[in-house]
Structure 1
Amino acid sequence: MKTGLTLGKFAPLHHGHQAVIERALAECDSVMVMIYHAPEFTQVPLEVRAGWIRKLYPSIHIIECRDGPMEVGDTPEIRAMHEEYILRVLDGRPITHFYSSEFYGDHVSRALGAQDCRVDEARQLVPISATQIRDDPYRHRQFVDPLVYRDLVTWVVLVGAPSTGKTTLCASLAARFNTVWMPEYGREYWEAHQHQRRLTPEQLVEIAVGHREREDRLVHEAREYFFVDTDASTTTVFADYYHGQPAAALRELADQTPQRYDLCLLCDDDIPYDDTEDRSGEANRADMQQRVLDELHRLGRQYVTLRGSLDERIAEVERVLAKFDKWRAEA
């Protein structure tokens, strides 16, 4: 039995790391990956970084190292510190091949009694480092899997009743932060498929699914922030209003929204009502706004309410984002 081991911070996981992992998978019967906590290097939680590898490589055994040494260097003391920690965590589990692209491959392999397997040590196959990606994720996004990149972006969703300024604000925020935004797919779908200004419960599910699929494609083009006009929770409000209750599949998508989006912004209905063919009047807007609020509370979602003019709303979003940390979720 060949057992491979690699280790690191994976902050973030990039194609260079993946080349090491995939070489180990190709050559060994089983593979372990040790992931270090590393709060000094990254705010991305250990469990998120471990989750990337679990999703991309389900057969790998992950060891989350929350107390691992963070000292970096090639002194006898630092080498001994790392070797002792690795051996203690492995607790006698035999390793036959140690994979890395770093200088420490030599001394760690000797400590393990394993074969030293270096992968792209000169960074010719994947000319990137995790430090470069941390410094500018957008510029180097071609070196990370879409699964990883979506977590390097802050997802900001705007919700509210019809005619509360979501679309205008979304477009303005994207321009302000030099990024992309996701238009409300439901509006496009309604124009193409509505019958007597109504959609079926099944069609509302199609809207929610289609909206998410477009988000997943578009987020790879986002720079730091990804602004989204409406989510499945609002579609659920419409389903409940027009059909008495949403389809189970739609409810399930709505229930996932607190985890899918990092920051929720509620556009207030304090601006003039803009009547269009797909809307049902100002009184209906007030009713729908209350339903949107009720759904936010049902889901236990934290949100920031935006009021006033477009400029005032943009200024408030700037204030919120200036101190927002998606991994601590404090607005």
Structure 2
Amino acid sequence: MRIKRTGLTLGKFAPLHKGHQYMIETALSEVDELVILIYDAAETEIPLSVRAEWLRRLYPQAVVLEAWDGPQEVGDTPKIRTMHEEYILRRIKGRRITHFYSSEFYGEHVSRRLGAINRQVDPGRTVFPVSGTLVREDPFKWRDYVHPLVYRDLITGVVFLGAPSTGKSTLAEALARKYGTVCMPEYGREYWEAHQVDRRLTPEQLVEIARGHLEREERLLTSANRYLFVDTNAITTYMFSLDYHGFALPELEELARMAASRYDLVFLCADDIPYDDTWDRSGEVKRAVFQKRIIADLKQRRIPYIELRGNLDERIATVERVLARFRKYDSLGEWALRGIEGRM
């Protein structure tokens, strides 16, 4: 009777890159069951739960164990080796490991303690010459070595909201140029110009706008460099549906609800700049009313936001100050922004 082959690999996966994936996929091709032990990591702000979710989504056939209390000491001393070995034995809870997968020095002593085959996978990093340190230092440079599912979580999503003619498009485009990244234009304007009848769209068409905007935004994330600047979102489309029809279809309501927690930073462009009275807009009075409704909706949804006032240069300066202090996964990030002029 053939013995069940059970593999084990471990790491911080901070972040997960193609070198890690090559090891995991090699293991999956050679064993009947694979256990992945993922450790907390002080060197990254990305929570362990987020990193574990990458593994679960990409490799649902593997068993992912979160090592919240795993040892953080690294090195090749008898004390550190024993500490790690005993922790691994406790976490696998009696599983019989037949193959231990790694590309590190510890593969030898951990395999020996487990009574497993020491399966070294690309220890010289020749197949995928990348490391977590390199990706952390410059995710954009190494983005070809990072799965899109992972890369999107390395990008800070910045959305600009506000009534028509509050400078959202101009600001998003200017910031994208300044930071060498991409911006997501307002898909609703493009759609409206192509499909409007008597300056109106149907409730179903407004759902198409929100859905299409989100799809384009997702595609752009893989081209973003640190930041993706977004001109409006599904909440704006939802507000237009209320304005046009007095209601929104359930799918649009759900897309707006999802948008409430999708972005890392929300900026509200104030209506303190001259109104650009183009043919596709409804007038300065309507702008003021729409702005009030957007603010009320943000408050009702409990969405923290920062108000941007003044000319373009003044608004850019405020965004720069916020971005300089903001860290995507830092739980103190919101409090650090309290000193920034605006509203939270």
The alignment's TM-score, normalised by the length of structure 2, stands at 0.94
1:178 match: 180
**In the aligned structure 1, how far is the partner of 2:296 from the partner of 2:6?**
53
1:8 equivalent to 2:25? Answer: no
Letter in 2 for 1:277: W
2:71 match: 69
TM superposition outliers: structure 1 runs of 4+ over 3 Å: none
- What's the offset of the Cα at 1:163? 0.5
Alignment of 1:45-64 (within 5 A): 45-64=47-66
Among residues 15, 32, 49, which one is paired with 1:29 in the alignment? 32
CA deviation profile, 1:148-186 (whole Å, cap 9, x unmatched) = 111111110001110010001101111121211110111
- What's the offset of the Cα at 1:82? 0.8
Identity of aligned residues (%): 61
**In the aligned structure 1, how far is the partner of 2:314 from the partner of 2:278?**
24
- What's the offset of the Cα at 1:59? 2.1
**What runs of 5+ residues in structure 2 fail to find an aligned partner?**
338-344
1:79 match: 81
1:112 match: 114
- Please give the secondary structure, in 2, of the residue aligned with 1:123: coil
1:309 match: 311
Letter in 1 for 2:15: P
The alignment's TM-score, normalised by the length of structure 1, stands at 0.97
CA deviation profile, 1:78-133 (whole Å, cap 9, x unmatched) = 21111111111122122121111112111111111112111111111111111111
**In the aligned structure 2, how far is the partner of 1:236 from the partner of 1:26?**
47
Letter in 2 for 1:124: T
**In the aligned structure 1, how far is the partner of 2:119 from the partner of 2:239?**
56
**In the aligned structure 1, how far is the partner of 2:281 from the partner of 2:324?**
34
1:92 match: 94
1:130 match: 132
- Aligned residue pairs, count: 330
**In the aligned structure 2, how far is the partner of 1:235 from the partner of 1:188?**
13
Alignment of 1:137-176 (within 5 A): 137-176=139-178
**What runs of 5+ residues in structure 1 fail to find an aligned partner?**
none
2:226 match: 224
**In the aligned structure 2, how far is the partner of 1:82 from the partner of 1:169?**
51
2:200 match: 198
Alignment of 1:211-290 (within 5 A): 211-290=213-292
- What's the offset of the Cα at 1:298? 2.5
- What's the offset of the Cα at 1:203? 0.8
- What's the offset of the Cα at 1:277? 2.1
**In the aligned structure 2, how far is the partner of 1:199 from the partner of 1:28?**
55
